Amino acid sequence: MLSKATPLRSLRVRAGREMVTKRFASHGAPHYNEPTGYIFGEKPLVPGQKRVKEDWENIWYIGMFGTIGLAALLLYYKPDTSIQGWALKEAKARMEARGEKVQYEPSRP
């Protein structure tokens, strides 16, 4: 029978302890900006001092609001693809083919 202190068993136990103690995902200190209590991490300015924009801010504003404006324009002018729109066009075409009036006129009492 094998004794408890075989070289293979001791390697297995030693390797198990090292795997438990090492943390491969941590990589040291945290990689995020720790909370400071200030909004967006910016300290309040001294009275009379003006905030300086970063380089990317104007590009972001133009891209964001330009995209919203373009989407609104495209939605406003999108073609009518509803079944009701198709049925109205089809009904008008059939009425014109039969020679009927397409414009509705209420009857007089």
Q: What is the pLDDT of residue 2?
A: 54
Question: pLDDT tens digits, residue range 18-51?
Answer: 555 555 666 666 667 777 888 877 888 999 999 8
Q: Does 12 have pLDDT greater than 70?
A: no
Q: What is the pLDDT of residue 5?
A: 56
Question: What are the CA-CA distances from residue 16 to residues 20, 99, 106 (Å)?
Answer: 6, 92, 91
Question: pLDDT tens digits, residue range 72-93?
Answer: 999 999 999 999 999 999 999 9
Beta-carbon contacts of 25 under 8 Å, excluding residues fewer than 6 positions away, are: none
Terminal Cα distance for the chain, rounded: 115
